[in-house]
């Protein structure tokens, strides 16, 4: 166990923390979450390391010195929560330090609920003990004292990820490495028929020598065993619970992977994506809110997080795909190329055949193609199957295949009078609109196309800020979230724009999701999905935007 024992908070507030960017950047806690509360002051009793020496006349901690089951001497309290108190203890039989979880159940609880609590602790021990993985805390023993189970575990020297995030966020490589270790623990658990059901930063321990451990299987569900529920209680930490569990549907491995996605988002973005001021509001945000696209760690890590946070578990990437993305994100940057110095043989040496320039170029092309193919396999966005009720449309004038919901109405320019390249689809109400525009390089006589997708996005973003967009009834200076991304392994860019229309008679909130992509031939593609910024159509519009971007196929037909 860790210094805080992975303990649960006892209030109805979600288990969150003040997240700040890593030093030396200035602290900006929860930049997009107005409900975040300051982190509690550290508890001196929860500090890692050996128990502090007692000064003259100082009283020992209540319970310290007690001998459990004739061998475990309690030394100092490490942490506590709703399920119990975690102690640092000495196993006097084998002379080693261990972590011991003391059951803590209020005396006023009915006997049945007390029995359920004790059974849950026994189940925690069974769930962890059946797993053989270095990222799962090891259970040594379950000592029964007065009918109550005390769980004896390895003592992981270090602190929780939750404690670390109170000091600052993780960079992409560190977050990906942490995610890989937790993913390995979850894969081992799922292979053994165990669902953790409470993956969160406070239950991820950062030990010595880079070790990362998933702990606290206190509410784990073991396949084949009957379920335990708390009367009037909610099992798990609300902001990390998958939507299907909130709805009371059957949980599966994808539910634990959702929680991992929330952890990675919070660890890199500096904000807990679904945390609100109380539990009901938090659960509503899990079901309905769409967090801002991750921007702090673009590339494979952002792709993994975005995929894991899909509301429908059937559309989330599986563990194999997540592992590939996290491995790519955790990889060190490629080393700088070095120049090879060759010494030509002297006249007496046998001549050595060297490939000609054309052959060398051919070999180089093969190597580049192989590397590109490998990257595309690892970096291709996870779109999953086309959603039910969607259709693909081959649009020759924009050289792409566009996916939209069935029944959307198509519009396109009249090629007799309009030489622009675009196609538009909208629902019958006109509230949600999908527009794909192609700007061919060969027709760019005015040099409007920028050198990259990101440059085009930032140029458009500057126009939005300075003058808005009259064609969209957009006033100047809307709220934007530009970021660089990838499309099919190539550089792309995205922007999310929120504004209130400048229609004096009927101003309405609107939101745009825009994808920019510049093909190898220099053609620029812009996919714009617009929808209401508030109301029943907002979440539907965001779903349409996400699926339209994920299923866009440029270059076909």
Q: Is 416 annotated as a binding residue?
A: no
Mean per-residue pLDDT for 447-469? 89
Q: Which residues contact 122 (CB under 8 A, 6 or more apart)?
A: 142, 149
Q: Which residues lie across from 73 on neighbouring strands?
A: 67, 90
Q: Is the dihedral of CA 386, 391, 395, 398 positive or negative?
A: negative
Give tens-digit pLDDT for 127-174: 666 677 888 888 888 888 877 788 888 888 888 899 899 888 999 999
Residue 361's alpha-carbon distances to 334, 335, 366, 371, 373, in angstroms, are 22, 22, 9, 15, 18
Q: Which residues contact 349 (CB under 8 A, 6 or more apart)?
A: none
Give the range with max mean pLDDT: 207-216, 441-450, 492-501. 492-501
Percent of residues, the chain, with pLDDT higher than 70:
71
Per-residue pLDDT at 223 exceeds 50: no
Catalytic residues: 198
| Longest alpha-carbon distance in the chain | 97
Please report the DSSP string for 288-346 in residue order: H--PPPP-SSTTHHHHHHHHHT-SSGGGS--HHHHHHHHHHHHSPPPPPP-PPP-----
Per-residue pLDDT at 30 exceeds 90: no
Give tens-digit pLDDT for 281-312: 999 999 999 988 898 888 999 999 999 999 99
Q: Which helix (H) or strand (E) holds 487?
A: strand 483-487
CA distance 437 to 435: 6
Per-residue pLDDT at 15 exceeds 60: no
Among residues 269, 270, 268, 264, the alpha carbon closest in space to that of 307 is found at 264
Looking at residue 376, its pLDDT comes to: 37
Give tens-digit pLDDT for 178-192: 999 999 999 988 888
Residue 424's alpha-carbon distances to 79, 115, 398, in angstroms, are 58, 62, 11
Give the range with max mean pLDDT: 8-17, 25-34, 307-316. 307-316
Range with the poorest average pLDDT among 240-254, 345-359, 470-484: 345-359
Mean per-residue pLDDT for 475-484? 91
Neighbours of 94 (CB within 10 A): 9
Residue 398 DSSP class: G
Looking at residue 502, its pLDDT comes to: 85
Give tens-digit pLDDT for 233-271: 445 588 999 999 999 898 899 999 999 999 999 999 988
Range with the poorest average pLDDT among 72-76, 111-115, 302-306, 438-442: 111-115
Residue 415 DSSP class: T
Looking at residue 196, its pLDDT comes to: 85
Please answer whether residues 297 and 485 qualify as being in contact, where contact means their C-beta atoms are separated by less than 8 angstroms: no
Query: Using 50, 70 and 90 to split pLDDT, how confident is the model at 124?
Result: low
- Helix spans in 380-406 (H): none
Per-residue pLDDT at 28 exceeds 50: no
Looking at residue 314, its pLDDT comes to: 93
Looking at residue 106, its pLDDT comes to: 58
Looking at residue 83, its pLDDT comes to: 60
Per-residue pLDDT at 355 exceeds 60: no
Indicate the SS3 state at residue 58.
coil
Q: Which residues contact 433 (CB under 8 A, 6 or more apart)?
A: 424, 425, 426, 528, 529, 530, 531
Looking at residue 350, its pLDDT comes to: 43
- Mean of the per-residue pLDDT values of the chain: 77
Q: Which stretches does DSSP call E strand in 63-158? A: 67-68, 72-80, 84-91, 96-103, 139-145, 148-154
Residue that has been written with the tokens 């073991």 in this structure: 222
């Amino acid at each position: 166990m860790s210094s805080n024992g992975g303990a649960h908070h006892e209030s109805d507030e979600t288990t969150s923390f003040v997240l700040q960017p890593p030093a030396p950047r200035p602290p900006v806690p929860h930049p997009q979450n107005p409900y975040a509360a300051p982190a509690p002051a550290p508890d001196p009793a929860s500090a890692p390391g050996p128990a502090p020496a007692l000064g003259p006349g100082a009283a020992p901690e209540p319970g310290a010195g007690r001998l459990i089951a004739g061998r475990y001497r309690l030394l100092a309290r490490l942490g506590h929560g709703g399920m119990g108190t975690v102690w640092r203890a000495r196993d006097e039989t084998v002379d080693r330090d261990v972590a011991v979880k003391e059951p803590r159940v209020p005396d006023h609880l009915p006997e049945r609920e007390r029995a359920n609590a004790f059974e849950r602790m026994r189940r925690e021990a069974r769930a962890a003990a059946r797993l053989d993985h270095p990222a799962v805390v090891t259970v040594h023993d379950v000592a029964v004292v007065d009918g109550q189970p005390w769980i004896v575990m390895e003592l992981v020297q270090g602190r929780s990820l939750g404690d670390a995030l109170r000091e600052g966020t993780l960079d992409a490589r560190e977050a990906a490495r942490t995610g890989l270790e937790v993913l390995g623990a979850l894969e081992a658990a799922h292979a053994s028929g165990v669902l953790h059901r409470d993956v969160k930063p406070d239950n991820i321990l950062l030990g010595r020598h880079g070790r990362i451990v998933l702990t606290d299987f206190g509410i784990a569900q073991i396949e084949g065993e009957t379920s335990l529920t708390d009367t009037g209680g909610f099992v798990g930490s609300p902001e990390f619970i998958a939507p299907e569990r909130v709805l009371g549907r059957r949980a599966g491995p994808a539910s634990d992977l959702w929680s991992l996605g929330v952890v990675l988002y919070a660890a890199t973005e500096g904000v807990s994506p679904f945390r609100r001021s109380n539990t009901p509001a938090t659960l509503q945000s899990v079901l309905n809110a769409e967090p801002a696209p991750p921007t702090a760690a673009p590339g494979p890590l952002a792709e993994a997080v975005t995929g894991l946070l899909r509301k429908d578990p059937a559309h989330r990437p599986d563990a194999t795909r997540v592992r590939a993305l996290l491995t790519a994100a955790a990889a060190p940057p490629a080393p700088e190329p070095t120049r090879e110095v060759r010494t030509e043989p002297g006249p007496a040496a046998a001549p050595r055949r060297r490939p000609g320039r054309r052959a060398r170029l051919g070999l180089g092309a093969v190597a580049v193609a192989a590397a590109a193919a490998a990257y595309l396999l690892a970096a291709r966005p996870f779109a999953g199957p086309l959603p039910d009720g969607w259709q693909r449309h081959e649009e020759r004038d924009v050289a792409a295949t566009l996916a939209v919901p069935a029944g959307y109405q198509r519009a396109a320019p009249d090629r007799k009078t309009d030489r622009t390249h675009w196609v538009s689809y909208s629902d019958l109400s006109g509230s949600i609109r999908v527009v794909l525009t192609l700007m061919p390089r060969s027709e760019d006589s005015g040099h409007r196309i920028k050198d990259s997708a990101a440059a085009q996005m930032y140029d458009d973003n500057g126009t939005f800020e300075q003058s808005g967009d009259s064609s969209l009834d957009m006033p100047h200076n809307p709220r934007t979230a530009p970021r660089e991304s990838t499309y099919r392994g190539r550089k792309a860019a995205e922007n999310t724009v929120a504004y209130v229309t400048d229609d004096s008679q009927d101003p309405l909130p609107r939101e745009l999701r825009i994808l920019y992509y510049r093909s190898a031939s220099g053609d620029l593609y812009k996919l714009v999905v617009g929808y209401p910024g508030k109301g029943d159509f907002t979440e539907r519009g965001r779903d349409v935007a996400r699926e339209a971007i994920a299923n866009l196929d440029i270059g076909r037909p």
